[in-house]
Amino acid sequence: MKVVTVVGARPQFIKSAPVSRALQSVGYQEFVIHTGQHYDPEMSTVFFEEMSLPKPYAILNCGNLSRDAMLSKMKTDLKPIFEAIQPDMALVYGDTNSTLAGARMAQECNVPLIHVEAGLRSYNLEMPEEHNRIESDQLSKWLFTPTSQASENLKKEGFSDNTITQVGDVMLDALQMFRSKAAHTLKMGPHSFFYKPFALVTMHRFENISQPERLGFLVREINSFHRNVMPVWMPLHPATAARLEEFGLKLEVKIAPPVGYLEMLWALQQTTLVLTDSGGLQKEAYYSDKPCVTLRGETEWIELIEMGASVLFDPNKTEELIPTARGIISSFKPGSKDLYGAGRASQAIVAALG
């Protein structure tokens, strides 16, 4: 059986690692297509090297474009690849533009589609990711959900039960697979951060960085936290760096270039607090027993909010970050780790495919 896997962003590289191994273990022939949505050594190459991911069958050049232009170019570039491979199925992860492009191409080429991390909803249609995940679900034959809530979301939208399988979170599979390796990878390089306690901060969501007022507010709050509570270590996403320069905003924190997966796991083991707008890092903080401030007004991972592992900080409300952060630090208690399965989601996916 031939399966085309379309990836293009950091979280998808992580999610694909355990699933690729599981597919290979039962004889699937996988063709990995890297759209180039994130393509530079820090955001891409290092992940393939650290996690021993399959070498991409093709690497496209679809980064640094608007959403519509990116989707259009991905469609143009993916079509001849699908036609050449003639896959039996296609596989996409999550909610990025690469996810949607792969889903649309599978439909155009009449290839059955697998969507891993299906059914998640933030119910914020201002987020491009929300549109991406909804349409990708609609185009899928196999809907693999991480939670019972995600499965219920799909059922409420009219999806039939026999297309939905709750498998858990493949990012937990990856974390369990690589955590011990990360613990022994302490060569942090020139952007090491040795002060403790410290807060790990990441920020890249379009809604947080696209408007100077909102980004300026977040920069001021993060700088204040850095000065008054504890030092901040912030691996800076290229898109965020570009917007900071464009808007004339300056972070006063310890800035690092983007880091690989092992280094991020190491940082999670060392940090006191995580502040992020990343969906994946919210969960990785939870798996690492670290409190998290989610720099958004809503999250698709509502279980983390409900159990007190994370707290929302809505930039639109322009409240102060420091009280929110201090509140989650003082109230946080490590909880059960079975919210998102037992770390065998990839095996469950392969078993369901038959």
3-state SS, residue 311 = strand
As beta bridge partners, residue 273 has 199
Q: Find out whether 73 and 8 touch, Cβ atoms under 8 Å.
A: no
- Closest-CA residue to 177 (of 335, 22, 34): 22
The helix (H) or strand (E) run that includes residue 134 is helix 128-138
Q: Tell me, what DSSP letter sits at residue 184?
A: T
Long-range contacts of 22-30 (CB under 8 A, 24+ apart): 22/346, 22/347, 22/349, 22/350, 23/350, 24/54, 25/350, 26/350, 27/1, 28/1, 28/2, 28/3, 28/350, 29/1, 29/2, 29/3, 30/2, 30/3, 30/4, 30/5, 30/54
Q: Which of these is catalytic: 34, 38, 115, 204?
A: 204
Q: Residue 237 corresponds to which tokens in the numbers above?
A: 């996403």
Strands 273-276 and 199-202: parallel
Burial of 68 (0-12, 13-18, 19+ CB in 10 A): exposed
* Distance between CA atoms of residues 317 and 315, nearest Å: 5
Which DSSP category does 41 fall into?
I
- Prior bond to 197 cis, omega within 30? yes
Q: Is 34 one of the catalytic residues?
A: no
Q: Please provide the distance, in angstroms rounded to a whole number, between the alpha carbons at the two ends of the chain.
A: 11
Catalytic positions: 204
